[in-house]
Amino acid sequence: MTQEQTLVKTLDFQLNIQSDNESLLYDATVESRWAYNETIRLAKQGVDWDEIPDRVADHADLVKNTTQRVVAKALGAMENYHAYDDFGLPSHTKDGTYPLRANYEEGYNLTLRDDGTVEFRISAKPYKHVNGVLEGDDTHLDILRAALTGDGWTIGTAEALFHNGNPELHINVTNTKQTVREKQDSRTVIGLDVNEDNVALSALSAEGIEDTLVIDFPEIKFERHRYFTMRKRVQNAEKPSIHDTLEGQEERFVRDRLHKVSRHIVDWSRQFEKPCIVFEDLKEMRDSIDYGTRMNRRLHHLPFRALQYYTSYKAAFEGVPTAWIAPEYTSQRCPLCGHMERGNRNKKRFKCRSCGQQDHADRSASVNIAVKGIRKHQEWTVPALNSLPQVRTVRRQASGAVDAPTVTHDTVRGYQTDGVTGVSD
């Protein structure tokens, strides 16, 4: 049994602009920045959101459809700024360019030529167009050609922007053929525990724990602290333009790492029979956090929701379903005996005071998440867990996953880390 689900993919292309109008596209993206800033300014002033699109469109030197799409994105940022990355309330004083957003066959058009090239036409400003040829990854071009011939894909909105000074077009396409299994029709449940500097994964089937993996990414925590320190310094120096630049660099760095980690998660999960990835529902977590100013800042800025979102949609494109469970007690319960008590965890070490089990704390949490996922979403019974397999850790770097020293844990009574063994009291 399958579940129909809308799957949207973003295709990235470079723009080979044939006519001498690259400056026109640049001017339009600068005007788009004005429309974005004006939208945020009006929203902060308390103007009725239904009135903002027309007010901005009346003064923007852009195609009306494009202006409306830019306004909609700005209002979306206002509405959801705290939901995922929580970098702070959107600013209306940023400089530079901002992507032109447009609907297909309204703000931009594509034409597939006999030789396989795809030509574009972007309505940069009223009655002024930018024309040229798309260039980019062969896989993305193949998907776009399929969409232009009606073969399983439909074309949606696009954004024209400048990346590192080069013009690009990012096109959203929807897959009309891909299906995702019902989460109840799974044979393996992947528990995913997201932390400040890693994610822990445990694959649990009716036969027991199939495998576990910990993916470390300490550079996200490090870079966020570094950017926070730099922003505070330029803020004290009253240089807002530099502050905004640093904020944008931080967002791009974090999102790049999260995309790599989420791809690693999905690729690892696909090795198991009919997998289903289970997340903790952490959307209310920030409301309950109060550990002092410094710790609150760190925890409020953790990209939990963003990583879950990226993993979810990448999994969907592989036909892998995802599910959610309540997060209560997943870090405090022993995955073997079920004993639950606060204080069992000391940094990355979990020790059960009842059965003496010692383990990697985040791996223990991922096992508990998988168990709760089975109980909530599956018809088969949670298997008896008498032992836990060895934990393997990998560390994400800019070039990909790099194997780190293996962290091993004995099955019941002991734990071992990098060759140093400890025995429970």
Q: pLDDT at residue 10 above 80?
A: yes
CB 108 within 8 A of CB 121: yes
- Mean pLDDT, range 65-86, rounded to an integer: 79
Secondary structure E strands in 84-185: 100-102, 108-112, 118-125, 128-135, 153-163, 166-175, 179-181
Q: In the listed set 140, 175, 210, which residue is the last one of a domain according to the structure?
A: 175
Most confidently modeled of 148-162, 229-243, 406-420? Answer: 148-162
Q: How far is CA 226 from CA 47, 219, 321, in A?
A: 36, 10, 36
Residue predicted with more confidence, 57 or 153: 57
Q: How far is CA 54 from CA 47, 133, 199, 380, in A?
A: 12, 33, 45, 55
Q: pLDDT at residue 56 above 90?
A: yes
The pair of structure tokens assigned to 224 is 């966020």
Report the percentage of the chain scoring pLDDT > 70: 78
Q: pLDDT at residue 38 above 90?
A: yes
Distance from C-alpha of 200 to C-alpha of 369, rounded to nearest angstrom: 10
Q: pLDDT at residue 416 above 80?
A: no
Q: Please choose, from the candidates 241, 219, 243, 217, the residue with its C-alpha nearest in 3D space to the C-alpha of residue 229.
A: 243
Q: Are residues 132 and 265 in the same domain?
A: no
Residue predicted with more confidence, 142 or 20: 142
Report the percentage of the chain scoring pLDDT > 90: 45
Q: pLDDT at residue 26 above 90?
A: yes
Q: Are residues 9 and 130 in the same domain?
A: yes
Query: How confident is the model at residue 324, as a pLDDT?
Result: 94
The total domain count for the chain is 2
**Which tens digits make up the pLDDT trace of 197-238?**
899 999 999 999 999 999 998 877 777 667 667 767 666 666
The pair of structure tokens assigned to 188 is 């393996």
CB 173 within 8 A of CB 8: yes
Distance from C-alpha of 322 to C-alpha of 183, rounded to nearest angstrom: 7
Q: Are residues 129 and 218 in the same domain?
A: no
Q: Are residues 157 and 210 in the same domain?
A: no
CB 177 within 8 A of CB 317: no
Q: In the listed set 109, 140, 175, which residue is the last one of a domain according to the structure?
A: 175
Q: Are residues 168 and 189 in the same domain?
A: no
Distance from C-alpha of 217 to C-alpha of 221, rounded to nearest angstrom: 8
Secondary structure letter of residue 95 according to DSSP: -
Q: pLDDT at residue 298 above 60?
A: no
List all residues 6 or more positions away from 147 whose beta carbon is below 8 Å from its beta carbon. Answer: 153, 154, 155, 173
The dihedral sign for the CA sequence 363, 364, 367, 369:
negative
Query: How confident is the model at residue 402, as a pLDDT?
Result: 43
Distance from C-alpha of 30 to C-alpha of 160, rounded to nearest angstrom: 12
Strands 128-135 and 7-17: antiparallel
- Provide the mean pLDDT of the chain: 81
The pair of structure tokens assigned to 374 is 């089975």
Query: How confident is the model at residue 390, as a pLDDT?
Result: 82
Q: Which helix (H) or strand (E) holds 141?
A: helix 138-148
Q: pLDDT at residue 107 above 50?
A: yes
Query: How confident is the model at residue 3, as a pLDDT?
Result: 47
- Mean pLDDT, range 349-358, rounded to an integer: 88
Q: Are residues 331 and 396 in the same domain?
A: yes
pLDDT band at 242 (very low <50, low <70, confident <90, very high): low
Q: Are residues 130 and 240 in the same domain?
A: no
CB 383 within 8 A of CB 188: no
Most confidently modeled of 28-37, 329-338, 415-424? Answer: 28-37
The pair of structure tokens assigned to 77 is 């940022």
Q: Are residues 168 and 194 in the same domain?
A: no
The pair of structure tokens assigned to 11 is 């295709």
Q: pLDDT at residue 418 above 60?
A: no
Query: How confident is the model at residue 173, as a pLDDT?
Result: 92
Q: In 77-100, which positions are buried (b, 16+ CB within 10 angstroms) versus exposed (e)?
A: bbeeeeebbbbeebbbebeebbbb
Query: How confident is the model at residue 217, as a pLDDT?
Result: 85
Q: Are residues 225 and 372 in the same domain?
A: yes
Q: Are residues 159 and 187 in the same domain?
A: no
Query: How confident is the model at residue 295, as a pLDDT?
Result: 47
Is this structure's pTM higher than 0.85?
no
Distance from C-alpha of 58 to C-alpha of 411, rounded to nearest angstrom: 69
- Mean pLDDT, range 62-70, rounded to an integer: 92
- State the Cα angle at 229 between 228 and 235, rounded to 5°: 85
Domain that includes residue 353, residue range: 182-423
CATH of the domain at 210: 3.30.420.140
The pair of structure tokens assigned to 6 is 């809308």
What torsion, rounded to 10 degrees, do the Cα atoms 98, 103, 107, 110 define?
Answer: 110
pLDDT band at 193 (very low <50, low <70, confident <90, very high): very high
- Mean pLDDT, range 362-391, rounded to an integer: 92
The pair of structure tokens assigned to 42 is 């009006």
Q: Are residues 151 and 127 in the same domain?
A: yes
Q: Are residues 130 and 206 in the same domain?
A: no
- Mean pLDDT, range 332-345, rounded to an integer: 83
Q: In the listed set 141, 175, 209, which residue is the last one of a domain according to the structure?
A: 175
